[in-house]
Amino acid sequence: MSEWTKPNLQNLAAIDVHVHLEATDDATPTDSAAKQYFGDSGASRDPKALAEYYRSRKIAFVIFAVDEKLTGRPRVTNEAVIRFSAENPDVAIPFCSIDPHRGLEGVREAKRLVSQKLVHGLKLHPPIQQFSPDDKMAYPLYEVFADAKLPVVFHTGHSGIGTGMPGGGGVRLKYGNPMPIDDVAVDFPTMPIIMAHPSFPWQDEAISICLHKPNVYIDLSGWSPKYFSPTLIQYANSRLQRKVLFGSDYPFITPDRWIADFEKIAIRDEVRPLILKENAIRLLRLDVSGD
């Protein structure tokens, strides 16, 4: 596999930091429940259509799958994400996903992907991967990304996956509480951390962590902006204006819908470009040549 190359920043209108590469087969009970929860976005899961959707809108995006066995959904491998990104380097920024329960084997994979510069970060989904972020089991995995100063994305808050299914599809919401991430931020102060999604019902906790820890950020994916809490909008406009990031959660929510709703909420004009693009450029170090 070839080393990842960066998109041309000058041509971009925005950077979406939260996009899933999903299997084209979405006929599982979990997918049906997710469509009921999010609504049918109409977004294509075909990789070529996905890339063209973003390219036509001049939006680059962070792309990943989720390494998990709980939901029974068809697995998309890190290799598939890397191939997709290599085929679409003008828009795609690859992250890997590794279940911490894989132990040393997973750590070895992480070291290989990072050392070969095939990925630009790590995606974790504690409720679906069934672990608490502060579990020391995951610390050897964090060390790989901390050493490389690459970001780790943690799902936080409610999980649309499993909503409405018997027993929530086995998804335990307690693992979405962002407070354990505070311990990770203390123990790995050089590792950028992105708390994915407005962290309902723990939004104030997420804001507190992001405000307190310099290496912690919030992406705004998974919710239409019209549902953002007043407190989140207040801090996005002020003390966290350089620490919040545009994310859609494609294919569950599309950038078209997210940006249209974002235009209607009370975000200051000078803050909008920070959220849509500039904060991601700085966090992902896309403006550093040869990095």
Indicate whether 289 pLDDT > 80: no
Give residue 231's pLDDT: 98
What is 128-158 written as a DSSP string?
HHT--TT-GGGHHHHHHHHHHT--EEEE-S-
Give residue 113's pLDDT: 98
Indicate whether 136 pLDDT > 50: yes
Give residue 291's pLDDT: 45
Q: Which fold, 9-283?
A: TIM Barrel (3.20.20)
Give this prediction's pTM.
Answer: 0.95
Give residue-wise pLDDT tens across range 168-188.
Answer: 999 999 999 999 999 999 999
**Residue ranges per structural domain of the chain:** 9-283
Identify the three-state secondary structure at position 193.
strand
Question: CA–CA separation, 60 vs 15, rounded Å?
Answer: 5
Confidence tier at 82 by pLDDT (50, 70, 90): very high
Give residue-wise pLDDT tens across range 15-69.
Answer: 999 999 999 877 788 888 888 889 888 899 999 999 999 999 999 999 999 999 9
Least reliable range by pLDDT among 34-38, 154-158, 227-231, 256-260: 34-38
Whose tokens are 């050392």? That residue is 115
Q: Residue 149: phi, psi to the nearest 5?
A: 55, 40
Taking alpha carbons only, the member of 88, 251, 108 closest to residue 96 is 108
Q: Could you give the count of Cα atoms lying within 13 Å of 188 in the half-sphere of its Cβ?
A: 26
Give residue 288's pLDDT: 72
Give residue-wise pLDDT tens across range 262-280.
Answer: 999 999 999 999 999 999 9
> Measured in Å, how far apart are the chain's first and last C-alpha atoms?
18
Indicate whether 6 pLDDT > 90: no
Give residue-wise pLDDT tens across range 212-242.
Answer: 999 999 999 999 999 999 999 999 999 999 9
Q: What percent of the chain clears pLDDT 70, i.e. is strictly above it? A: 97
Residue ranges of E strands in 137-281:
152-155, 193-196, 216-219, 244-245
Taking alpha carbons only, the member of 61, 49, 60, 62 closest to residue 97 is 62
Indicate whether 1 pLDDT > 80: no
